[in-house]
Amino acid sequence: MPSIFTCVPSCGKSYGKQVTLTLHQRSCDEYKRPNPKLANIASRIAEKKARKRRRLEEPDASHVQLISV
């Protein structure tokens, strides 16, 4: 069964080879248009990584003991 490589659904063009699809996508306006759903996912991943990085950089106070005088 031959493989079919399809551009984004809003474009809908299909090709028999990955190379031809890549060449098409270089000039395809639908492919270059930003996808808000993917941008949302990417921003959530970046946000999660930033939170993790901040948590690792924050000084941990668990080793400090409070001594009342």
pLDDT in tens, 9-19: 889 899 999 99
13-44 core/surface letters (b: 16 or more CB in 10 A; e: else): eebeeeeebeebbeebeebeeeeeeeeeeeee
pLDDT averaged over every residue in the chain? 83
pLDDT tens digit sequence for 36-57: 777 788 888 899 999 988 887 7
